[in-house]
């Protein structure tokens, strides 16, 4: 056996709930004991469209949170934006439907061993996995502040129960329709300069992740970001979801965001080379 | 069930079952081993490796298409030395049968790769990928040129004495596939792998430019299965004695049987593994059940069965 995909299983999961939350769907799947393998940052790959579908590839979704209860056993919650034909199909599944899933996949957010000041930054529905992460950080005694941003208020995902697991929550929208007018990255520079934050956890569009990496560059702040790159397989065999990442020796490699990510060290991702091929020989 | 003979051969290499992974669709095996034991399938065909480490093509590298996908990976890999030192020993330890796939930019590079592969124990066959569509210069697709195809295989044949079979992987993007197949067999190929992906393109309607970083990509998945069946049927008709490792959109046991009836002695499963990590092992089970249900005493008795005389 290999370490890659360790803990992942391929199984049928039942849709226990599917409800609209603003522009998103909150979908809860019964996954039984598999919850024990799931960590904040992991993702799930779901077969879409049914058996006769022309969509042959799975769709990857960040696991928003997992829970265990007496009545439902282990459950996994996803926040899905019905954008493409695959996610629309998923959002149309009703309670009781069976889904073919592979989970948990990918690297998880690193959890500090000491209580630290953590800043969680989410863009759009990228905030989904941050609430599960916030609960874990809180239980380790961390101070957890959260910044959420989106183009408009309808695209902010911030459930009531999630707000309880953070010390503070600030919302930014580019059109000012919710929270403060502006980008979610704007307040970060001052927090870094004031040494008010030790670790930043981020999830959202690549532009946001890159902007945060540029702010934290040269500081002692650790930036763990969950990247988003188009994947065909989610399990490391197709080599489509690669990003240029520099290791400690300075060597740049094209790493797979499915198995070497989605959580990566923002300071090592070569953001300026995304979508290009490094000129130096590998 | 117990009397059924599922084994197959490609040249002098023997395999317990005819279902393999397809090169470029199983990396080096580790990723799939969480889902099934690699020793239970016919063989792992590793991702085509070049002499030097290689970044491959820029992202985006993938576009889903109706019943298929385009990829534009461009042979990203660790280079042959690191591959042979790290990946092969692990596969051998898993008791997996291994077919190493190589790709080069020159005739000499293929010969160098073949020499390095020959020096390592535990490899059942060598796939010579002369048909990767994701190279910068279409002139480098050796398999589109009969003379270039022949020279590559000839160079490899001079390096590999006959210890392991040479499987030449060909492209369907040619006018006269049987002629190219005949050329590489004359040059010393023991078997043929048919088919590589079909060259394609998707234009992104937001940017209104080609979607893939490499502009063109290789089309795979169920959309190309009829192309694979046709290619295998044509080549088997022309050279029934040459074993064919068939591939192209196989995602079920019935699909695998279709390729076998057309003339394939073995079937590789590629893109199906992206959508289903258990695809290889499930297809293998389904194929065996189907062959038995159809009354075949062995896999070999079904190979090329679609070519039989009208009266049979």
Closest Cα in chain B to A7 = B34
Question: Residue B295 contacts by C-beta under 8 Å, 6 or more apart in sequence?
Answer: none
Residue B98 has pLDDT above 60, yes or no: yes
Contact A21, A157 (CB under 8 A): yes
SS (H, E, C) chain B: CCCCECCEEECCEEECCCEEECCCCCCCCCCHHHCCCHHHCCEEECCCECCCCECCCCCCCEEEECCEEEECCCCCECCHHHHHHHHHHHHHHCCCCEEEEECCCCHHHHHHHHHHHHCCCCCCEEEEECCCCCCCCHHHCHHHCHHHHHHHHHHHHHHCCCCCCEEEECCCCCCCHHHHHHHHHHCCCCEEEECCCEEEECEECCCCEECECCEEEEEECHHHHHHHHHHHHHHHHHCCCCCEEECCCCCCHHHHHHHHHHCCCEEEECCHHHHCCCHHHHHHHHHHHHHHHCCCCECHHHCCHHHCCCCC
Contact A192, A222 (CB under 8 A): no
Rounded to two decimals, what is the model's pTM? Answer: 0.95
Chain B positions in Cβ-Cβ contact with residue A5 (cut-off 8 Å): 31, 34-35
CATH class of A117-273: alpha beta
Q: What is the distance between the alpha carbons of residues A209 and A215, in angstroms, rounded to a whole number?
A: 10
Mutation target among A9, A231, A239 for the B interface, most CBs of B within 10 A: A239
Looking at the partner chain, which of A10, A237, A243 has a beta carbon nearest the beta carbon of B31?
A237
Instruction: State the smallest CA–CA distance between residue B259 and chain A in angstroms.
Output: 20
**Interface residue B64 vs chain A (CB under 8 A):** yes
Question: Residue A121 contacts by C-beta under 8 Å, 6 or more apart in sequence?
Answer: A130, A146, A147, A148, A149, A184, A185, A188, A200, A201, A202, A203, A204, A208, A212
The whole-number pLDDT of residue A1 equals: 54
Q: What is the distance between the alpha carbons of residues B213 and B61, in angstroms, rounded to a whole number?
A: 6
Q: Do B34 and A56 touch (CB under 8 A)?
A: no
The whole-number pLDDT of residue B276 equals: 97
Question: B8-307 belongs to which homologous superfamily?
Answer: Aldolase class I (3.20.20.70)
**Interface residue B225 vs chain A (CB under 8 A):** no
Q: Do A274 and B277 touch (CB under 8 A)?
A: no
What average pLDDT does chain B have? 95
Mutation target among B51, B62, B215 for the A interface, most CBs of A within 10 A: B62
Instruction: State the smallest CA–CA distance between residue A145 and chain B in angstroms.
Output: 34
The whole-number pLDDT of residue A282 equals: 73
Across residues B212-240, what is the average pLDDT? 97
The whole-number pLDDT of residue B139 equals: 55
Q: Enter the tokens of residue A114.
A: 């000491």
Chain B positions in Cβ-Cβ contact with residue A241 (cut-off 8 Å): 59, 61-62
Looking at the partner chain, which of B213, B251, B274 has a beta carbon nearest the beta carbon of A233?
B274
Question: Which part of chain A is CATH 2.40.30.10?
Answer: 9-105
Confidence of residue A13 (pLDDT cuts 50, 70, 90): very high
Contact B312, B270 (CB under 8 A): no
Looking at the partner chain, which of B27, B54, B67 has a beta carbon nearest the beta carbon of A282?
B54
Across residues A157-162, what is the average pLDDT? 80
What average pLDDT does chain A have? 94
Residue B138 has pLDDT above 60, yes or no: no
**Interface residue B27 vs chain A (CB under 8 A):** yes
Q: Do A232 and B76 touch (CB under 8 A)?
A: no
Mutation target among B55, B91, B254, B268 for the A interface, most CBs of A within 10 A: B55
Q: What are the residues facing B77 on neighbouring strands?
A: B54
Confidence of residue A266 (pLDDT cuts 50, 70, 90): very high
Number of A/B CB contacts below 8 angstroms equals 121
The whole-number pLDDT of residue A272 equals: 95
Confidence of residue B222 (pLDDT cuts 50, 70, 90): very high
Q: What is the distance between the alpha carbons of residues B168 and B156, in angstroms, rounded to a whole number?
A: 10
Contact A216, B46 (CB under 8 A): no
Percentage of chain B lying above the pLDDT 70 cut: 97
Across residues A163-167, what is the average pLDDT? 89
Q: Do B76 and A243 touch (CB under 8 A)?
A: no
Closest Cα in chain A to B68 = A56
SS (H, E, C) chain A: CCCCCCCCEEEEEEEEEEEEECCEEEEEEECHHHHHHCCCCCEEEECCCCCCCCCCCCEEEECCEEEEECCCEEEEEEEECCCCHHHHHHHCCCCCCEEEEEEEECECCCCCCCCCEEEEEEEHHHHHHHHHHHHHHHHCCCEEEEEEEECCHHHCCCCHHHHCCCCEEEEEECCCCCCEECCCCCCHHHHHHCCCCCEEEEECCHHHHHHHHHHHCCCCCEEEEECCCCCCCCCCCCCCCEEEEECCCCCEEEEECCCCCEEEECCCECHHHCCCCCCCCC
Q: What is the distance between the alpha carbons of residues B57 and A240, in angstroms, rounded to a whole number?
A: 10
Looking at the partner chain, which of B32, B54, B66 has a beta carbon nearest the beta carbon of A237?
B32
The whole-number pLDDT of residue B251 equals: 97
Chain A positions in Cβ-Cβ contact with residue B22 (cut-off 8 Å): none
Across residues B74-98, what is the average pLDDT? 96
Catalytic annotation, residues of B: 132
Residue ranges per domain, chain B? 8-307
Task: Report CA torsion sign: A226, A231, A236, A241.
Answer: negative
Architecture of the domain defined by A9-105: Beta Barrel (2.40)
Q: Do A2 and B273 touch (CB under 8 A)?
A: no
Chain B positions in Cβ-Cβ contact with residue A235 (cut-off 8 Å): 31-32, 34, 277
CA angle A8, A252, A236 (to 5 degrees): 20
State whether ipTM is beyond 0.90: yes
């Amino acid at each position: 056996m290999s370490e890659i995909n360790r803990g992942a299983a391929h199984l049928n999961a039942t849709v226990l709930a599917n409800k609209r939350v603003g522009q998103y769907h909150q979908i809860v799947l019964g996954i039984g004991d598999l919850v024990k393998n799931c960590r904040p940052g992991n993702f799930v790959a779901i077969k879409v469209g049914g058996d006769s579908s022309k969509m042959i590839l799975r769709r990857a979704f960040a696991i928003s949170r997992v829970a265990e209860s007496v009545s439902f056993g282990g459950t996994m919650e996803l926040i899905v934006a019905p954008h493409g034909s695959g996610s629309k199909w998923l959002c149309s599944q009703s309670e009781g439907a069976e889904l073919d899933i592979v989970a948990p996949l990918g690297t998880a957010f690193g959890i500090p061993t000491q209580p630290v000041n953590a800043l969680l930054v989410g863009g759009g529905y990228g905030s989904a996995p941050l609430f599960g992460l916030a609960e874990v950080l809180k239980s380790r005694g961390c101070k957890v502040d959260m910044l959420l941003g989106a183009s408009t208020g309808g695209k902010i995902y911030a459930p009531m129960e999630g707000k309880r697991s953070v010390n503070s929550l600030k919302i930014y929208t580019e059109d000012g329709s919710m929270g403060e007018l502006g980008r979610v990255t704007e307040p970060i520079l001052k927090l870094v300069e004031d040494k008010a934050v030790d670790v930043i956890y981020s999830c959202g569009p690549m532009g946001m992740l890159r902007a945060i990496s540029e702010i934290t560059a040269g500081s002692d702040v650790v930036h763990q970001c969950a990247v988003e790159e188009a994947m065909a397989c989610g399990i490391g065999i197709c080599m489509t979801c690669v990003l240029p990442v520099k290791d400690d020796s300075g060597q740049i490699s094209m790493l797979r965001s499915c198995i070497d990510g989605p959580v990566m060290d923002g300071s090592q991702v070569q953001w300026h080379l995304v979508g290009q091929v490094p000129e130096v020989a590998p | 069930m117990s009397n059924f003979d599922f084994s197959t051969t490609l040249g002098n290499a023997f395999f317990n079952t005819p279902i393999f992974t397809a090169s470029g669709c199983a990396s080096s095996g580790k990723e799939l081993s969480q889902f099934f034991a690699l020793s239970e399938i016919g063989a792992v065909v590793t991702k085509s490796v070049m002499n030097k480490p290689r970044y491959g093509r820029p992202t985006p590298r993938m576009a889903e298409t109706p019943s298929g996908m385009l990829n534009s990976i461009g042979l990203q890999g660790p280079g042959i030395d690191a591959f042979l030192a790290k990946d092969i020993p692990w596969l051998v330890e898993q008791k997996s049968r291994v077919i190493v796939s190589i790709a080069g930019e020159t005739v000499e590079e293929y010969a160098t790769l073949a020499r390095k592969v020959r020096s390592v124990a535990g490899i059942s066959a060598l796939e010579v990928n002369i048909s990767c569509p994701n190279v910068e210069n279409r002139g480098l697709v050796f398999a589109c040129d009969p003379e270039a195809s022949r020279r590559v295989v000839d160079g490899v044949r001079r390096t590999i004495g006959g210890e392991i079979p040479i499987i030449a992987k060909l492209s369907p993007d040619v006018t006269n596939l049987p002629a190219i197949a005949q050329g590489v067999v004359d040059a010393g190929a023991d078997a043929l792998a048919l088919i590589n992906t079909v060259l394609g393109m998707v234009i992104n309607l937001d940017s209104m430019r080609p979607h893939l970083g490499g502009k063109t990509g290789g089309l795979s998945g169920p959309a190309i299965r009829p192309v694979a069946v046709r290619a295998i049927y044509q080549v088997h008709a022309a050279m029934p004695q040459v074993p064919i490792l068939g591939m192209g959109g196989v995602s079920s046991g019935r699909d695998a049987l279709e390729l076998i009836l057309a003339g394939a002695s073995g079937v590789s499963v590629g893109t199906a593994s992206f959508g289903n990590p258990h695809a290889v092992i499930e297809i293998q089970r389904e194929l065996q059940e189907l062959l038995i249900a159809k009354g075949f005493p062995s896999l070999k008795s079904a190979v090329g069965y679609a070519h039989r005389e009208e009266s049979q």
